[in-house]
Amino acid sequence: MEFDPRIFMFVLFGLGMMLAVGLEKWLLRYWLSLPIAYVGVGYLVFSLPLGMPTFNPATDGFDALTLEYVTEFIVIVSLMAAGIAIDRPVSWTNWRQIWPLLAIAMPLTILAVALLGWWGLGLVPASAILLGAVLAPTDPVLARSVQVGPPGESQRHDVRFSLTTEAGLNDGLAFPFTHLAIAVLGMTALWPGLIEWAALDLVWRIAAGCAVGYGVGRLGAWYVFEREADAPIEDVEQERPRYSTSEGLIVLGTLLLAYGAAELVNGYGFLAVFVGAVTARQRENASRYHKISHHFIDQIEQIVLVAVLFGFGAMLAGGVLDALTLPAAAIAAALVFVIRPIGGLLAESLSGLPWQGKLAVAFLGVRGMGSIYYLAYGQTHGDFPQLALLWATVSFAILLSIVVHGIVSGPFIALVERRNWHIHVGMEPTMDALSPEPRREVEIEKSGRT
């Protein structure tokens, strides 16, 4: 019987989905992660002489376009899941450890990587800026092991909150600098071009994305909980709203509505999705609906994640690292071991976490699918020189992050959580912040705990 690679891919994808949950729990015993295993399997399968298709966005524009669409979807799904999981009320005080990560760590990362790309790799300014923008954001997709758990569960630690919220916001805030790189390609006058970029891509698009996300989040929450208010009296008396997995249609619809509406008004859809999810989560905080919603969206994320991880392994087997040079590998290593940790520590020096917690937040800045999306977006929207070198550098940085953070993150987070290091606002520290009993959000605003 003739071997059919297409049918074999169905088998591989089916087995990958079936084994994902159990394998993920088993790997945690050995300080490993699911991305390490699935990328390795993808690389092995697509390296064997089985006639599998070659997948390399550095040499094939269609592969880059496919990557852009697939990673765009999984990022917005991950942002929705992250936003629903965050139960800490939005305020300057409650989120005070997040703002420095966005205002200090991220710009420093963009600047450092861009300068190294220009100086060490000989990239033209546009390509150097694109490299900095692509590698700056932390990833909500591959950072599952360091994020807060589903609503109502006990994984509420301040370090998890910081990493989850940072990934949710900076995956949208990297877009202005991606647009800057594209603008530099065709810029004929420096200052007029920069002013136009600042007004449109930096100010308007961020404001529009946040505004649309807030509006859609409020609308979705109103729609859901007004229907709950109209439930029959017997359901109210039993305190069990008639929620089911069919509510996932509303969740997915809200996600797509927020993203699409923001993009229609030239706002950032990633920001809109995350802001919308956080906004909806603030309504009826103790409701069981949020846990059902998170479960539904998490299932979608895991399905697409299996395909994306196999696909990244296929990229590695397809020769995306062929253009990798020693300076490019050094820049990727500097990002993981030097640039992000130093930038994170500078940012977190303003937070109330002990130094061990600050180090965890600074070091566990996972890179992943967001970086692939931004580079694919840049490739399909601009004619960047040295594209093969860009893909090799970014792919190696992601691979290094998957291996290093996949091994280190589990023990590191476990250590921090065992020590019960938390930020407390306006009161003395207590030791009950990780209680498995869900706490009402109104208490968090007063105590500063998750």
Q: Name the pLDDT band for 246 (thresholds 50, 70, 90).
A: low
Is the pLDDT at 48 greater than 60? The verdict is yes
CATH of the domain at 251: 1.20.1530.20
Q: What is the mean pLDDT of residues 356-364?
A: 90
Q: Does some domain include residue 331?
A: yes
- Is residue 242 one of the residues assigned to a domain? yes
User: Does residue 437 lie within any of the structural domains?
Assistant: no
Domain extent, residue 11, equals 5-421
* In the predicted structure, residue 128 carries a pLDDT above the cut 70: yes
Residue 450 counted as domain residue: no
Phi, psi dihedrals of residue 241, rounded to the nearest 5°: -55, 150
Q: Is 441 part of any domain?
A: no
443 falls within a domain: no
Largest CA distance in the chain: 72
pTM over 0.85: yes
* 276: nearest Cα among 215, 223, 213, 225: 213
Phi and psi of 89, rounded to 5°? -55, 145
In a domain, 188, yes or no: yes
Q: What is the pLDDT of residues 184-216, one digit of tens each?
A: 987 767 788 899 999 999 999 999 999 999 999
Q: Domain count of the chain?
A: 1
Which residue in the block uniquely carries the two structure tokens 């960047």? 384
What is the gyration radius of the CA atoms in the chain, in angstroms?
22
Of 78, 173, 76, residue with least CA distance to 132: 173
Task: Render pLDDT for 274-322 as a digit per residue (tens, 0 to 9).
Answer: 999 999 888 766 667 777 777 888 888 889 999 999 999 999 999 999 9
User: What are the structure tokens assigned to 317, written together?
Assistant: 């087997």
In a domain, 449, yes or no: no
CA dist 276 and 223 (Å) reads 14
